[in-house]
């Protein structure tokens, strides 16, 4: 289908973006890669009279590793994440997750900012950023503010971002220990039926800390603190692994859709989390 008529803008800096958002209010939307917004416009599920393309805003680009902190500009693509040597060394879980997103064509255009800011519970990056305890920097008319990824998501497609704000970057401390990102999907290019992001630190053959987040199993990404706590002091086997899976099951709230009934999704969630924990533990 063809979208409804709209005015198209391509500002060169964030000052121009914010000015347009203030001028047009609720009638304006920003676009990063466009993989979520453009299909909705074509299906007439979204009527956007004023579309602001962020492609020329150089302030939103770049990956930096400064000391113990990683910063990723909102317009960095999944392809850039995969091919960043600095990021592969500092936070390899990002590359592992990005290679499982959609297909190469999508990854060339799909951005980190679009993935996390959209509030789609099926997107991979929101849960991963919760696992990493990332911080999101937002820019609006009153300046910058920072929101924790763990506080950003309120409901499906609803976030803490105001209409006149733009997510400009993601930052987090370099994760310690071992990682794994496990995802089950029906076919290449599809969203996850369920996915798990795991970061584990260990000492003396026992887990000292664990961060676990689940994707597409509720109307927001789910950070399962109880699942992580269940692994502490264990070697990620036997009763501890079962306890972690059981704790995660208490935190998620899947719904039936074309990826399967609730019982199936819960089963898949248990499998992907078990695999992610086992793989992360094997890397400690």
> Over 90: is that where the pLDDT of 155 sits?
yes
* pLDDT class of 179 with cuts at 50, 70, 90: very high
Q: How far apart are the first and last CA of the chain?
A: 50
Confidence at residue 60, expressed as pLDDT on a 0 to 100 scale: 98
* Residues whose CB falls within 8 Å of the CB of residue 140, separated by 6 or more in sequence, listed in order: 18, 162, 164, 165, 166
Angle (CA) 269-271-276 rounded to 5° is 95
pLDDT of 79-113, one tens digit each? 999 999 999 999 999 999 999 998 888 899 999 99
Give whole-number Cα distances, 210 to 130, 133, 158, 277, in Å: 12, 12, 28, 9
Structure-block tokens of residue 29: 């939307």
Identify the CA nearest to 212 among candidates 174, 258, 173, 180. 180
Return d(Cα 38, Cα 40) in angstroms, integer: 5
The arithmetic mean of pLDDT across residues 262-279, rounded, is 98
Q: How many CB atoms lie within 10 A of CB 274?
A: 18
Residue 186 Rama label (left phi>0; alpha psi -120 to 50; beta): alpha
Mean pLDDT for the chain overall: 95
Residue 3's pLDDT band (boundaries 50, 70, 90)?
confident
SS3 63: strand
DSSP 61: -
pLDDT at res. 156? 95
How is domain 58-173 classified at the CATH fold level? 3.30.465
pLDDT at 33: 87
Fold topology of 178-282: Enolase-like; domain 1 (3.30.390)
CATH of domain 7-53: 3.30.43.10
Q: Where do we find the tokens 């709209």?
A: 6
Domain ranges of the chain: 7-53, 58-173, 178-282
Percent residues over pLDDT 90 in the chain = 89
* Tokens representing residue 249 in the block: 């099951």
CA 209/CA 279 separation, integer angstroms: 16
Question: What pLDDT is attached to residue 63?
Answer: 98
CB 153 within 8 A of CB 126: yes
Return the pLDDT at 188.
85
Question: Which tokens belong to 169?
Answer: 């970057």
pTM reported for the whole predicted model: 0.95
Backbone angles phi, psi at 34, to 5 degrees: 90, 5
Residue 44 has pLDDT above 90, yes or no: no
Average pLDDT over residues 183-208: 96
Tell me the per-residue pLDDT of 62-71, one tens digit each, with 9 for 90 and over.
999 999 999 9
């Amino acid at each position: 289908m063809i979208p409804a008529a709209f005015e198209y803008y391509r500002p060169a800096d964030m000052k121009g973006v914010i000015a347009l958002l203030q001028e047009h209010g609720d009638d304006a939307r920003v676009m990063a890669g466009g993989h979520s917004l453009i299909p909705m416009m074509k299906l007439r599920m979204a009527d956007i009279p004023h579309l602001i393309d962020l492609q020329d805003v150089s302030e939103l680009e770049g990956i930096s590793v400064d000391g113990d902190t990683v910063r990723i500009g909102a317009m960095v693509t999944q392809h850039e994440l995969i091919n960043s040597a600095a990021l592969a060394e500092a936070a390899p879980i990002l590359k592992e997750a990005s290679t499982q997103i959609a297909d190469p064509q999508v990854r060339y255009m799909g951005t980190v900012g679009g993935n996390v800011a959209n509030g789609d519970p099926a997107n991979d990056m929101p849960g991963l950023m919760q696992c990493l305890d990332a911080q999101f920097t937002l820019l609006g008319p009153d300046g910058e503010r920072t929101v924790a990824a763990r506080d950003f998501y309120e409901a499906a497609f609803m976030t803490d971002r105001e209409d006149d704000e733009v997510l400009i970057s993601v930052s987090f401390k370099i994760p310690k220990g071992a990682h794994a990102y496990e995802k089950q999907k029906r076919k290449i290019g599809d969203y996850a039926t369920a996915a798990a992001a795991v970061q584990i630190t260990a000492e003396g053959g026992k887990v000292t800390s664990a961060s676990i987040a689940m994707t597409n199993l509720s109307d927001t990404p789910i950070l399962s603190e109880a699942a992580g706590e269940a692994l502490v002091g264990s070697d990620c086997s036997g009763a501890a692994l079962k306890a972690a899976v059981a704790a995660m099951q208490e935190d998620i709230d899947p719904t039936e859709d074309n990826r399967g009934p609730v019982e199936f999704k819960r089963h898949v969630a248990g499998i992907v989390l078990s695999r992610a924990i086992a793989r992360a533990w094997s890397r400690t």
